Structure 1
Amino acid sequence: MKKIGTLCCTILLMVLWSCKDSGPKPRFLPPSTGGINSLMVVMDTELWKGTVGDRIRQHFAAPVLGLPQGEPKFTITQIPPQVFRGATTYSRSVLFVEQDSASLAHIKTDVYAKPQKVAVVKGVEDTDLLNGLDSLASMAISSFKKVEIAEAQKRFTRSLSKDKAFQEEFGIQLKVPSLYTVGKREKNFVWMDIQIPKGTMNIIAYTMPKNSFSNDSTFVEDIVKMRDSIGKKYVPGPYENTFMMTEKAFAPYVFPARIGGKKAAEVRGIWEINGYPMAGPFLTYIINDEENDRKLILEGFTFAPSEEKRNYMFELEAILKTIDFNSQPEG
């Protein structure tokens, strides 16, 4: 009897294990593809040529703020639905627009590949599609940007700089590609840069007192004064008495942000060299680092005359967003 009981237990365990194995298995998804900031738009070509296509371009090909020349948020490729098969479905960011008996607008994750965001807009009439695009555009752009930032970070984190200047000076870790080198380091200031075909990409960091920018009514003006004073002290131009400053003709754009788990202000605009014809875009994060009683400033700026600068600035943004405050200064 004891042997029979043991046999029954063994059979029962085998049955349970078999049931466990026969459950639904995770679906394999190929890695997503595409250039940084590329968007696959899947829709009928006639729709693309009309008002619906115009509205898509209005939202998703709008100029990036803070660049000297107009460059679109996304580089768009449009294909009809019947061509959307095989490798084309692996695009990282996809907008699917279709006339349908039901109206809907939503965002799906990892449908055909991984990582992937697919924004879907359907409607009976063109007006339904236009309304769906208007309601979904800001959320879709944010979702696409997040997946693109993650992809940019994935690409450059394969080979990172081992320099500890940011850690030693500010107690932070920043994932900076290995080709960047420290060009200047002083107390409370670090500057790393990289040569690009026709110029440079740059990252600088410094701190300000905790109570800086206490007056909301002069916030933008105070940001400009801060940048100009730092530029005059640390970022010289090609000749004596020339230095980096904020472009005088236009005030920078300022947005609320969150970076490294902390509240921040995001500032985008154009820098120029005082007294010399050089200029380019900058992106600044003013971070409320309350634990350390300071404002931490991270900035990326590019000099690339006659070149498109959107992807350069996007890479700098991706680098700055890797900030980790869990590291402490050494010594």
Structure 2
Amino acid sequence: MALPVSTGKINSVSVIIDDVLWNGEVGDVLRKKLAAPVDGLQEEEPLFTLNQYSPKIFNSNVRLARNIVVISKAAHPEFKHVMDKYAVPQNIFYISGHNWNEIIETIELHSPTLTGSINYSEIIENQKATAKALFNDQKIRQKFNITVQIPEDFSYALLKHKFAWLKKDIPSGNSSLLIYQVPLSSFKKGSIVDNVIRIRDSIGKKYIHGMLDKSSMQTEESYYPYISKTRIDDKPAFEMRGTWELQNNFMNGPFLNYVIKDSPNRRYIIVEGFVYNPSSTKRDMIFELESIIKSTQFLKPKKNEAKIRNKAI
């Protein structure tokens, strides 16, 4: 018999835990790890939305949730990850210990695996939803020799030789996706952060302008960006999260920038998402952009095809 489809909003986690533990130190540690502020947002928004339930009702529809964390007391500390037990897709994490301290230690020890596994599966889930109605990325394939799974509600705002700006409007603002390339030689001596900021600010000055005062988008200096190493389509990349602003303007918001090293073609492909949504939360909008960018795949060059030119844009 096939399992039912799991339920739950993107980035939501059901926590099965006794009220006493939830309202004490164990709950505090869980919230610290699972509801930590998302890097790069001006206002604090939690990594995951937590919903607490008593163990007494775990045999109801609660167990159909896509992400479940079960906290309990046991003779020995344990961390166990079970997939697709009651529904598909599903992650259930069992965390136990003999007392509060053992449970807390187990959470602390395995929190990177816990948060990383949930984030990864939520990215996959979002990409599956996007794949049902995709934007035609043929021009992106032709310009950059890559493919990106972009939702159909995005459209081109600007298209140049080696630059693409796609945008999705919503009632309270918009989401944007930038794709461009620069030669490997564009990165000079100095920190990765300084290089990425210099390049993205030059792109903002050239292409991303305010409507009234002709100001351009730049990296906001008062918020130092977060940067980390990652991989996109098995290529080395840097992820940067920070805040953008329009010069001499009140418009600003979060951005997510990926610099992907494409050594065979002696270039960096840079894919960036940024959000303008002043009257509402931004976590899920940035997460959608993250899932889009992480779908990037490099196409194999066709036979007898000339190598991609690496001119500065």
Moved more, 232-241 or 261-270: 232-241
Distance 1:261 1:59 in 2: 28
Distance 2:109 2:94 in 1: 12
Match of 1:149 among 102, 123, 142: 123
SS at match of 1:77: strand
Q: Is the 8 A contact 2:219 2:244 kept in 1?
A: yes
Q: Is the 8 A contact 2:137 2:147 kept in 1?
A: no
- Which residue matches 1:199? 173
Distance 2:102 2:65 in 1: 26
Instruction: State percent identity of aligned pairs.
Output: 35
Q: Is the 8 A contact 1:191 1:203 kept in 2?
A: yes
Q: Is the 8 A contact 1:167 1:328 kept in 2?
A: no
SS at match of 1:276: coil
> How many residues of Structure 1 are paired with residues of Structure 2 in the alignment?
304
Q: Superposition RMSD on alpha carbons, in Å? A: 1.5
Q: TM-score, normalised by structure 2?
A: 0.94
Distance 1:72 1:163 in 2: 32
What is the CA-CA distance between 1:111 and the residue it aligns to? 1.8
Distance 2:194 2:113 in 1: 31
Distance 1:130 1:228 in 2: 43
- Which residue matches 2:110? 136
- Which residue matches 1:260? 233
Q: Is the 8 A contact 2:79 2:110 kept in 1?
A: yes
Unaligned runs of 5+ in 2: 307-313
Q: Does residue 1:277 correspond to 2:256, yes or no?
A: no
Q: Is the 8 A contact 1:172 1:328 kept in 2?
A: no
Match of 1:159 among 118, 122, 133: 133
- Which residue matches 1:56? 30
- Which residue matches 2:211? 238
Match of 2:86 among 101, 112, 116: 112
SS at match of 1:52: helix
What is the CA-CA distance between 1:65 and the residue it aligns to? 0.3
Q: Is the 8 A contact 1:173 1:327 kept in 2?
A: no
SS at match of 2:245: strand
| Cα deviations by residue, 1:92-141 (Å, 9 ceiling, x for unpaired) | 11111101122111222212211111111101110000000001111010
- Which residue matches 1:300? 273
| Cα deviations by residue, 1:162-196 (Å, 9 ceiling, x for unpaired) | 24221111011111111110110001100011111
Distance 1:248 1:324 in 2: 32
Match of 2:20 among 29, 33, 46: 46
Distance 1:315 1:36 in 2: 10
What is the CA-CA distance between 1:209 and the residue it aligns to? 1.0
Moved more, 156-165 or 282-291: 156-165
One-letter code aligned to 2:112: S
Distance 2:233 2:209 in 1: 30
Q: Does residue 1:31 correspond to 2:5, yes or no?
A: yes
Larger radius of gyration: 1
What is the CA-CA distance between 1:327 and the residue it aligns to? 5.3
Moved more, 161-170 or 43-52: 161-170
- Which residue matches 2:311? none
Q: Does residue 1:213 correspond to 2:187, yes or no?
A: yes
- Which residue matches 1:20? none
| Cα deviations by residue, 1:216-274 (Å, 9 ceiling, x for unpaired) | x4221111111111000011112244010000112211000111121100000000001
One-letter code aligned to 1:69: E
